[in-house]
A = this chain, B = another copy of it.
Amino acid sequence: MVQLSAPSASERRFMPPAVAVSTVAFALHPPVDANVADPGTGEVISTWGEYAGREGARDEHSTTLWLPLVRRTRPPFDGLWALPGGPIPWDEDLDQTAARTLHEAVLRSPGYLEQLYSFGATTRSATAQRLVTIAYWGSYGALDLASPPSPQPSRDVASDVASAAPDAVTEFSGALVASADDNVAWFSIDRLPELAFDHTEIIDYAVWRLRQRTEYSMVAHRFLGREFTLAQLRRVHEAILGEQLDPANFRRDMLAQGQLEDTGRVEQGTPHRPARLYRFTAEPEKA
């Protein structure tokens, strides 16, 4: 057995590092029933459904990305917000652990999930056990968020092992498991609160990598539903890159990629000419 609680300073140097997974999960906006926290104080102010209705902030005009955070309820960094995550059970792949812990916080499965980088500086927590964090980044699409909260991940994942993890290891995980309460809230990436561990650094790196990816890869469509207009896709790119894009050139370049398929249908209920709806196809069109 492993005895990990309250290690003395002399004992710490013989303890292997704890390993945890943390996930930066981007979305164009929170799910309607999710809590939204005040940027400055970190106080949960309302759900996204109320907030968006009040402010008139529709995702049509979304110009920023959002991500879920979990409030820690024990030391270290008690009370601060942290990325969803947790320790790695002995029989779970790293990818599975990331997916499961994220689902436990958000109650929904992301549409995309990918490993980002491993952080393990010795300065992360001077008084506690050494912690190595394997960071992931992912994205929630409109469909992922529209689905009702589910207690279990959609894909089959061993989740009973979570409670089997020693308490002392759980203590150092990126965040504690929360049960759909006020300890989970969504934040705009432009207005993040003070974060536990080095999670600010992790988020900065995730945003940087997301921008790199959108320039030479098709990841943006994962923020949308199954069908979308080119204007919607362009707004996703603009939100990620933080700059305006020429609609005409954007259309030409996207269609030249051959990964968009015309569904034949058009947008409904617009106050102007409706746009064609496209679908993403993995297979490039053969010319």
Instruction: Evaluate contact between A169 and B94: CB separation under 8 angstroms.
Output: no
A12 at the binding interface (Cβ < 8 Å) = yes
Distance in angstroms between the alpha carbons of A91 and B90 in the assembled complex: 25
Tally of A interface residues using CB under 8 Å? 36
Contact between B90 and A118 (Cβ–Cβ < 8 Å)? no
Q: Are B121 and A15 in contact (CB-based, < 8 A)? A: no
A89 contacts across to B, CB distance below 8 A? 13
Choose one: B11, B115, B119, B169; the contact of A16 (CB below 8 Å): B169
Instruction: Point out the residues of chain B lying under 8 angstroms from A118, CB to CB.
Output: 94, 115, 118, 134
Cα A15 to Cα B169 in complex, Å, equals: 10
Separation of A91 and B166 alpha carbons in the complex (Å): 23
Determine whether A208 belongs to the interface, using a CB cutoff of 8 Å to chain B: no
Q: For A4, list chain B residues within 8 Å (CB).
A: 2, 16
Could you say which residues of chain B place their CB within 8 Å of the CB of A122? 90-93
Q: Report the Cα distance A225→B4, complex, angstroms.
A: 48
Closest approach, in angstroms, between the C-beta of A156 and any C-beta of chain B? 15
Contact of A132 (CB < 8 Å), options: B1, B19, B161: B19
A137 CB to nearest B CB, Å: 14
CB distance from A158 to the nearest CB of B (A): 10
For A119, the chain B residues whose CB sits under 8 A away are 94
Most buried by B among A87, A88, A90: A90
Q: Give A3 Cβ to nearest chain B Cβ, in Å.
A: 7
**CB-based contact B2/A132 at 8 Å:** no
User: With A115-B117, A118-B134, A134-B132 as given contacts, are A161 and B90 in contact (CB-CB < 8 Å)?
Assistant: no
Closest to A168 in B: B16
Q: Does A17 count as interface, using CB distance less than 8 angstroms?
A: yes
A90 to B134, Cβ gap below 8 A?
A: no
Contacts of A12 in B (CB 8 A): 90
Given contacts A2-B2, A93-B120, 20 further A-B contacts (CB under 8 A): A1-B14, A4-B16, A12-B90, A13-B89, A14-B90, A14-B164, A14-B165, A14-B166, A15-B90, A16-B88, A17-B19, A88-B130, A88-B132, A91-B122, A91-B130, A93-B121, A94-B120, A94-B121, A120-B134, A132-B132
**5 A-B pairs (CB sep. < 8 Å):** A1-B14, A13-B91, A19-B132, A88-B130, A118-B134
